[in-house]
Amino acid sequence: MKNLRVCRDCHLAMKLISKSENREIILRDAIRFHHFRDGSCFCADYS
């Protein structure tokens, strides 16, 4: 079985990109959806 979780580095990168580009990014892993907006994630950084 593959590890389909979002790693911490990718999670941090998506937070920074969402803040710098002023966009909402939705990313899905095996367990949950991650909604990045204004440099934060709605999963409360549980990656």
pLDDT in tens, 5-44: 888 898 999 999 999 999 999 988 888 889 999 999 998 8
Query: What range defines the domain where residue 14 resides?
Result: 8-41
**pLDDT at position 3:** 63
pLDDT attached to residue 44? 82
Question: What is the reported pLDDT for 18?
Answer: 95
What's the structural domain count of the chain?
1
Distances (CA, A) of 29 to 11, 20, 32, 40, 44: 11, 23, 6, 17, 15
Asked whether residue 35 is domain-assigned, the answer is yes
Residue 1 clears pLDDT 60, i.e. is over it = no
